[in-house]
Chains A and B, each alone.
Chain A
């Protein structure tokens, strides 16, 4: 059973398009995260939700909008995609606020 899953695994799109990435966890966790990993493997937190409430909102362009319909799902919508948005996006979850995190397999986004 997949603990944290993301769809799609790969996303290739043109500049200016709008796209969404979905994340689901079946671990019963109450906190979920979105991270961006750039080409140099630097992993940076973007957003976090705890019990469907936004608790972390880093300095991210407002073209990025997270949405958590329930505790098991956290989606990421990106408007007006730019070349610099090309990266691998990881979803993660954990129980509570200070335990280990479980990561999804990542979504490789390529903007042409």
Chain B
């Protein structure tokens, strides 16, 4: 069964703007991960945040985790056209990653 749900399903912004994607889930997790998928390619891991962490940064990416609300957010700052891709959250439970349906981000030059 599906665990993570991303919101919005699609997001279109201008280069230089920030993009925020949200993820909600239903059960307790070991960690939550964000992945990017460019059209026709495999998934690329972005950030892993463990259940006892609240915030993590990696370059222009910032991820937050609120286990009380069972939600996470991914912020991409100063977006670039090359950030255009689908972004997935995945919850890690019982050795298994369960992916949401993804957010399609389009960054217009």
Contact = CB atoms under 8 A, between A and B. Distances in A.
Interface stretch (B16-24, B42-50, B62-70): B42-50
A33 B35 CA distance: 16
A45 B97 contact: yes
Interface residues of A, number: 25
A97 B93 CA distance: 10
A97 B31 CA distance: 11
Interface in A50-106: 50, 55-56, 90, 92, 97-106
The A interface, classified by DSSP as helix, strand, loop or mixed, is strand
Q: Which 3 A-B pairs have the closest CB atoms?
A: A103-B42, A100-B45, A43-B99
A76 to B, nearest CB: 15
Interface of A: 4, 31, 33, 40-45, 48, 50, 55-56, 90, 92, 97-106
Contacts of A97: 95
A41 B96 contact: no
B57 to A, nearest CB: 16
A50 B48 contact: no
